[in-house]
Structure 1
Amino acid sequence: MTSLASVTLEVADTTAAERFHDTAFGLGLQEVRLRSSEAPTTGFRGFTLSITVPRPADVRSFTESAVAAGATSLKAPEKSLWGYGSVVQAPDGTIWKLATSSKKEAGPATRTIEQLVLLLGVEDVKASKQFYVGQGLAVEKSFGGKYVEFAADKSGSGTGTDAFTLALYKRPGLAKIAGVPVDGTGSHRIVLGSSAGSFTDPDGFAWEATSLAAPASS
């Protein structure tokens, strides 16, 4: 089964980006790969990365450590229809959402990461879903033309926080969730890896063949 095997962020300064991810979230190159790039990009890049956690205290803890590491707060921690969350933008421009489905305070922060999610903002959710099914990805959840989540590979290519879950959402709605204007041009500044080889999806997100071992930042 084809699945999302790696996420590579293209950043101007790989050393600074690596330091941010470690300090803010405790993530290393096994979770988020880095590649040096000066590709032009402006505004919303069309995706968000999400960290789901057990409780509101964890949302606040990760938000605080991200801001202390240099991130900009886009949305302060607060309750929502779906739970409790916040949004920050890393110094490299990547937008991160910290979230839990729990609205109740249930003790101190554990800084446990339950799931990592890559949410792509697409023009047509149904069309993109069909495209990815054609590439060999299996649908885990689907809510019409609003949201699609694909199954992760459970065979050993990624476990725990080693693999992102791939999901699709309408681009305007994702920008609203992120708290930024929907407009954006240039490079997405992200490359996705899978066993399906190289291709580009209908919204311009680039995929490449990838190995399971995480490379050093360059």
Structure 2
Amino acid sequence: MTSISSISSVTLDVADLPEAESFYSAAFGLGDRLRLRASDAPSTGFRGFTLSLLVAQPATAAAFLDAALAAGATEIKPAKKSLWGFGGTVQAPDGTLWKVATSAKKDSGPATREIDALVLLIAAADVAASKRFYADRGLAVGKSFGKYVEFALPSSPVGFGLYSRSALAKDAGVAPEGSGSHRLAVNSDAGAFTDPDGFAWEAVAAATGAGADSAAAA
């Protein structure tokens, strides 16, 4: 069993590939950290994951959220200040939930298009069991409290963590019910496997070589 040392990208399965390519290019510009693949796999409700953009200041977070809404996203949680900082959540036209947030409460300059981190959080039915599953695959725990786990991947293009399904859905601002495909694949250096919650991990070579894939334009 190969250990996970880095997540190079995530692949989203989308019903309308040209629409998704246009949206992500205009909204976020994540380059090769985000890949898109045409799929009509059935999926309803909460898909059991969120993707987060962590940025340096509120003005940048607001600018990304505004760009996403202008490109066709639906507002789920309006951007606002909180005890931990500033942020909001939108749903892309393909159904993916995106949170844009910063721990800063004040701006230090004009808004930019700089992203400090892209983080994948998946909903675990049993957080402790999923934590052990990933620990067995070489992931060290960076933070862990309650029903939340953040793995230490300091040099990885994509960060990764676990949350209980109800807590992650609440954080995103949606109902926790959902069924069908996650419409997500995680691309890493650890080969292909499926985790306890049905999330598919794919080898980097397979992900980058698939003819139906398209890296979202920067």
Q: Tell whether the structures are fold-level matches, with TM greater than 0.5.
A: yes
Residues 65 and 100 in structure 2, CA contact (< 8 A), matched pair in contact too: yes
The 5 A counterparts of 1:1-218 are 1-2=3-4, 3-28=6-31, 30-143=32-145, 145-152=146-153, 154=155, 158=156, 163-211=157-205, 214=208, 217=213
* Gap runs ≥5 in structure 2: none
- 2:33 aligned counterpart, secondary structure: coil
| Aligned-pair CA distance for 1:140 | 2.2
CA RMSD of aligned residues (A): 1.8
| Distance in 2 separating the partners of 1:11 and 1:33 | 10
CA distance in 2, matches of 1:24, 1:100: 17
Cα distance, 1:137 vs structure 2: 2.0
- Unaligned 5+ segments in structure 1 are none
1: CA distance between counterparts of 2:199 and 2:56?
30
Tell me the TM-score normalised to structure 1 length. Answer: 0.90
The alpha-carbon deviation at position 142 of structure 1 amounts to: 2.0
SS in structure 2 of the partner of residue 85 of structure 1: strand
**Contact kept? 1:56, 1:85, Cα under 8 Å:** yes
How far apart, CA to CA, are the structure 2 residues paired with 1:139 and 1:105?
31
Distance 2:143 2:123 in 1: 16
> 2: distance between equivalents of 1:213 and 1:178?
27
Cα gap change, 1:200/1:212 in structure 2, threshold over 3 Å: closer, same or farther? closer
Q: Is the Cα–Cα contact under 8 Å of residues 5 and 212 in structure 1 kept in the other structure?
A: no
Q: TM-score, normalised by structure 2?
A: 0.90
2:65 is paired with a residue whose SS is: helix
Inter-partner Cα distance in structure 1 for 2:122 and 2:103: 20
